[in-house]
Amino acid sequence: PAKKNWAETMKVRGYMQIRSNPIIGGDKDISHQADRSIGDNNNFLIRRMRLIFFGDIGERLSYYIQPDFASRTGDGTGNIAQLRDAYGDIYLTKDRVHRLRVGQSKIPYSFENLQSSQNRIALDRNDALNSCCKDERDLGVFYYYTPEDKQEMFKYLVDSGLKGSGNYGVFAFGAYNGTGANRAENNDNLHLVSRFTYPVKFENGQIFEAGIQGIYGTFKPSRSGTVVADSKTDGFKDQRVGVHAVLYPQPFGLQAEWNWGKGPSLNDAGTMIEETSLNGGYIQAMYRITDFFGYGVMLPFVKWQYYDGAQKFESNAPQNHVNDWEAGFEWQPVPEIEFTAYYSKLDRNNLATAPYSKYNTDILRFQLQYNF
337: nearest Cα among 292, 307, 315, 368 = 368
Q: Which is nearer to a second copy, 6 or 205 (CB)?
A: 6
Q: Which is nearer to a second copy, 78 or 251 (CB)?
A: 78
The interface region with a second copy, picked from 160-168, 183-191, 196-204, 240-248 by CB under 8 A, is 183-191
Q: Is 25 near a second copy (CB under 8 A)?
A: no
Q: Among 31, 116, 151, 187, which residue interacts with a second copy (rule: CB under 8 A)?
A: 187
Least distance between a second copy and beta carbon 306 (Å): 30
- Is the CA virtual torsion 356, 76, 313, 84 positive or negative? positive
Q: Which is nearer to a second copy, 6 or 293 (CB)?
A: 6
Q: Burial level of 353, CB count in 10 A (0-12/13-18/19+)?
A: exposed
Cα separation, 320 vs 189, in Å, equals: 26
Cα separation, 287 vs 299, in Å, equals: 6
Least distance between a second copy and beta carbon 19 (Å): 10
Least distance between a second copy and beta carbon 295 (Å): 12
Least distance between a second copy and beta carbon 267 (Å): 25
Q: Is 181 near a second copy (CB under 8 A)?
A: yes
Least distance between a second copy and beta carbon 68 (Å): 10
CA triple 25-27-33, angle to 5 deg: 110
DSSP, collapsed to helix, strand or coil, labels residue 348 as: strand
DSSP state of 178: -
Q: Which is nearer to a second copy, 138 or 209 (CB)?
A: 138
Given a contact cutoff of 8 angstroms between Cβ atoms, the answer to whether 287 and 253 are in contact is: yes
Cα separation, 269 vs 266, in Å, equals: 8
DSSP state of 230: T
Q: Which is nearer to a second copy, 229 or 327 (CB)?
A: 229
Q: Is 182 near a second copy (CB under 8 A)?
A: yes
Given a contact cutoff of 8 angstroms between Cβ atoms, the answer to whether 212 and 109 are in contact is: no
Cα separation, 170 vs 197, in Å, equals: 5
Q: Which is nearer to a second copy, 68 or 127 (CB)?
A: 68
Residues 196-215 that bind a second copy (CB under 8 A): none
Cα separation, 33 vs 267, in Å, equals: 20
Q: Among 98, 183, 237, 345, which residue interacts with a second copy (rule: CB under 8 A)?
A: 183
Residues 47-106 that bind a second copy (CB under 8 A): 49, 51, 53, 55, 57-58, 60-61, 63, 65, 67, 69-83, 86, 88, 90, 102-104
Q: Is 107 near a second copy (CB under 8 A)?
A: no
Q: Is 16 near a second copy (CB under 8 A)?
A: yes
Q: Which is nearer to a second copy, 33 or 284 (CB)?
A: 33
Annotate 217-251 with b (16+ C-beta within 10 A) or e (fewer). bbbbbeeeeebebeebeebbebbbebbbbbbbbee
Residues 290-349 that bind a second copy (CB under 8 A): 333-337
Q: Among 33, 35, 38, 45, which residue interacts with a second copy (rule: CB under 8 A)?
A: 45
Q: Which is nearer to a second copy, 214 or 296 (CB)?
A: 296
Residue type, position 152, single letter: E
107: nearest Cα among 70, 148, 135, 78 = 135
Least distance between a second copy and beta carbon 105 (Å): 11
Residues 133-172 that bind a second copy (CB under 8 A): 139-141
Q: Which is nearer to a second copy, 52 or 243 (CB)?
A: 52
